[in-house]
């Protein structure tokens, strides 16, 4: 029963973060200050990815070496996303 409550709380946290990100994208800030908007969206996406990996992919209960390997992949994805943002402009 404790796991169900944990997953319900994580769902609500992810829902709030996704809603905040969607509202931020629709406010029109993307047109006025691209890099600030890009930074905020990347941070929100990173936080959501960490929550999903930690709780829904059970990395919280895995050995630390597996967690570090997954975090390395997350940082590589973040670096590639940042590099791709330069080609948009």
- Per-residue model confidence (pLDDT) at position 12: 93
- Per-residue model confidence (pLDDT) at position 29: 64
- Per-residue model confidence (pLDDT) at position 88: 67
Q: Tell me the domain boundaries of the chain.
A: 2-88
Give yes or no for a contact between 11 and 4, defined as CB atoms under 8 angstroms apart. no
Q: Is the pTM of this model over 0.85?
A: no
Taking the chain (89 residues) in runs of 10, the rounded mean pLDDT of each run is 81 91 77 77 85 75 81 85 77
Helical ranges in 2-52 per DSSP H = 2-26, 29-32, 34-51
What are 9's two structure tokens?
């709380």
């Amino acid at each position: 029963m404790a796991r169900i409550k944990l997953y319900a709380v994580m769902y609500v946290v992810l829902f709030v973060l996704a809603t905040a990100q969607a509202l931020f994208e629709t406010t029109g800030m993307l047109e006025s200050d691209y890099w600030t908007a890009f930074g905020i969206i990347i941070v929100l996406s990173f936080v959501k990815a960490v929550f999903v990996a930690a709780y829904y992919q059970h990395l919280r209960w895995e050995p630390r070496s597996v967690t570090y390997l997954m975090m390395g992949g997350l940082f590589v994805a973040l670096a590639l996303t940042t590099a791709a943002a330069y080609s948009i402009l």
